[in-house]
Copies of this chain bind each other. A is one copy, B any other.
């Protein structure tokens, strides 16, 4: 299955927080921008807060980045919103048959290779930061004339 839209949602949310300065960025505002629901936004904000990426203001509302955008990588965000169980990208079929020579050894042979693929993906996620997104989207917005 695809990686949950929680990830792109989280990036969208962080982008709003990083870029928008003239409005208070509330969960209602974010729900409107992302075309989702304030509760979903608040859940994701909670996850981002739990790993120290944002701070959220209770009562009065709004949120801001807890770190400079160049220190927030896509990997941080991906891990925060828990798109995969136990951090494992691949779901291995359960309990292959130990009585079969293949079933007995398939984990020995496959586990490393799956990890290798996952690491390649995570390395790429780690190489992209919110600073990249902030820079590019600011350029887009400026071209469109404020």
Q: How many copies does the complex hold?
A: 2
A57-90, CB < 8 A from B: 74, 83-85, 88-90
Is the interface on chain A under 10, 10 to 19, 20 to 34, or 35 or more residues?
Answer: 35 or more
What CA separation (Å) do A140 and B110 show in the bound complex?
12
**A128 and B113 form a contact (CB under 8 A):** yes
Given A89-B2, A117-B74, A101-B34 contact (CB < 8 Å): no
**B2 and A32 form a contact (CB under 8 A):** no
**B140 and A96 form a contact (CB under 8 A):** no
A52 at the interface (CB under 8 A from B): no
What CA separation (Å) do A121 and B123 show in the bound complex?
10
**B110 and A133 form a contact (CB under 8 A):** yes
A131 at the interface (CB under 8 A from B): no
